Amino acid sequence: MKCPCPKGSDTKVIDSRESDDGKAIRRRRACLSCDKRFTTFEKFELRMPHIIKGSGIREEYDEDKLRLGFERALHKRPVPVEYVDAAVDRISQKLLSMSEREVDSRKVGELVMQELRKLDKVGYIRFASVYRDFQDVDDFRDAIKEVQQQPARRRRPA
């Protein structure tokens, strides 16, 4: 690691500590030439896949956009934020574990529906009505029957 000052070409590590809940390492360094001290951070570089929309447009994976979808589906529903955060984390981990450079947005939508089905039936129906483009009451009735056949349960955050 080079020193930020123009003279320094080499540094030594004085102290290392975990940072950001173990997701980064904070290192205190000293320049061997000028003796100045500075701090560096090392973080994991995780490459999330690009999302291919139905129109063919490719977008970067956006966890905030995913969370917003959950929030809209679960608006005024009694689902703790921690459960939503855990669901978003599980989806992100599944996408990472696929080791694909690109993932179809339909796959992401199916993952969201799986998580919503576990969290809240009403939220699931709300999301499904938009995601599956319900056209009439029969579409809602079919989705409700599908949900009613499952035992009710809430998944705790992992």
pLDDT at 23: 76
Residues 38 and 108 in one domain: no
pLDDT at 80: 93
Tell me the C-alpha to C-alpha distance, in Å, between residue 100 and each of 10, 113, 129, 148: 38, 21, 28, 34
Percent of the chain with pLDDT over 90: 46
The 3 state secondary structure assigned to 117-149 is HHHCHHHHHHHHHHHCCCCCHHHHHHHHHHHHC
Over residues 57-78, the mean pLDDT reads: 93
88 lies in some domain: yes
Tell me the C-alpha to C-alpha distance, in Å, between residue 106 and each of 53, 59, 64, 119: 8, 13, 18, 20
Model's pTM, two decimal places?
A: 0.64
What residues are paired with 50 via a beta bridge?
Answer: 60, 102
5 lies in some domain: no
18 lies in some domain: yes
Residue pair 79/88 in contact (Cβ under 8 Å)? The answer is: no
Over residues 58-83, the mean pLDDT reads: 93
Q: What is the extent of the structural domain holding 78?
A: 50-148
Mind listing the pLDDT tens digit for each residue in 108-144? 999 999 999 899 989 988 888 887 777 888 888 888 8
